[in-house]
Every structure is written in structure tokens, then in C-alpha cells.
Amino acid sequence: MFTLNCKGKLISTDHALVMGIINATPDSFYKGDLNSGIAGISALVKKMIVDGADIIDVGGQSSRPGSKAISEDEERSRLIPVIEMIAESFPGTVISADTYRSNIAKAAVEAGASMINDISGGEADKEMIATVAGLQVPYICMHMKGSPENMDRHAVYGNVTEEVLNYFILKSEACKKAGIIDLIIDPGFGFAKTATHNFQLLRDLHLFKIIGRPLLAGLSRKSTISKTLGVSAADALNGTTVLNTLALNNGAGILRVHDVKEAKEAVLLVEQYKKSCSP
């Protein structure tokens, strides 16, 4: 069990947490129930909160394979108004800002975010880790090789579990030295990884417990599911629930999802299953 200090609000992983995804970008790989405009975003956030979301994760640019980076100004114009709206309309909500830019991280926390989710693990902006340490908010550090635009070309490993695990051992130490207290690790399912790599990481997820940090699993509606089942992202909810269940059983403490209600149900059922297995 871990406790995360989100700008004075403490949240615990004694029960697995569910993070709802809000993509404030026109080119996300899956939009789900999100309608355009701030009103549409507000309606989806409300639904996620009613369904039991513990965290709302807001991103201003797509990180799907092949996507190109947008300017810092464009990211700021998409992300900050949404964070401000959530903070004002849904007070007390734990908001995570999905960004790899330190300046955007600062602006997001000033606007009401209390967690930073960095797909680059501090590699895209060398000021990010020190910035998050100064902001004193939890930091989600993800593994990715290359960038979203070219990461598919970097999906080459001798042993993916060993490489990603070693990456987090080093990153955990670097974050600790910088002064980050609450570090969350995300293996980066789908980021510079084939379906085979993703399944191996999912199978080996329990090994990451040796790092002593909460584990986040972001499997929701990703291509590993859609390609394996031969369905679109829109039809990948059932597959998502199956993989979320496996992730929970293998040690995930946070699920990052498009579908909060179904993820909360998976959490409850896995918890009851584990209780029944206890002596």
C-alpha cells in the first residue's frame, strides 16, 4: 500500500485507483464519449466522477504511434483551460496533467493539477524531474524509447522486462535524489513495444514490485487488444477489461482507462477474489 500526497489531499492505493483519461486533443486514437468543446469535456468528467474515478488525467496532445509533437503554446492552450474548468467545476478532484514539458507542468499545477504524468520519464525535457520535485506533486514516470512519432522503430529488446526494469531502477534513484517523494512507475504498454513485448511485461508486472513504487497500467483500448482480437479501438472494451484484470492480479495499483465504471468493477472483483484466496 502507498499513500500519494496530491497537494495536501492524500490518496491511498490500499484499493487500486482508477484514472480516467481526458484527451483534450482533436487527434486522439480513441475519443469515446467525449464531445467537442469545454462543455463536452465537462460532461465526460462528471460521468467519470460519478462512475468512481479517483484521478482525472488530462492531456493536450496525442501520443499515439506516429503522432507529431505540437508547439508548447498549442499544448498550453488546449490543456490549461480544461484543468482550470475541472478544478473550478469539480473541486477536490485529483487532476493529473499529461505532459512531458516542464513549463507546461508548472502551469498545470498552478491551474489546479496535483500530479504530473510524463510519457518520456524526463527524457524529453531535462528540467522535468527537478521541476516536479520543486512542485512537490506525485510524478508518473513512464518508459518509452524514442518519441511517439518514431517509437515503433525502437521496439527492439533483448529482454523487454529486464530492460524496462533496469530503466526504472535508475529512474527511481534519479527521482529520489532530485527530491521527488511520490513516484509512480508506468511500463509504457504500447510505447515502443510490440504486442509480444506488452504481453511479456503484463505477465512479469509483479517483478516491478522490487522497486517499491506504485505501478500504473495503461492498457485501455490499445492496439495490442484491437490487433489481437481483430477489432477496432471502439470495440476493445471487453479486451481492455480482461487485460486490466490481469494487471490488477499482477500488482497494478492504478489503472489508466477510458471506461471508469468497468475498471472500478474489475478492481472490486479482483479484490474479492484475492480476499477469498487469503488464509
Query: Active-site positions?
Result: 222, 256
Residues 85/42, Cβ–Cβ less than 8 Å: yes
Residue whose C-alpha is closest to residue 256's, from 274, 268, 244: 244
Contacts 24+ apart (CB under 8 A), 66-73: 66/148, 66/149, 66/152, 67/27, 67/148, 67/149, 68/148, 68/149, 69/147, 69/148, 69/149, 72/101, 72/103, 72/104
Q: How far apart are CA 172 and CA 136, in angstroms?
A: 16
Check if the beta carbon of residue 70 is closer than 8 Å to that of residue 62: no
Q: Which residues are within 8 A (CB) of 269 and not within 5 positions of it... i.e. 6 or more apart? A: 245
**CA nearest neighbour of 118 among 261, 15, 231, 218:** 218
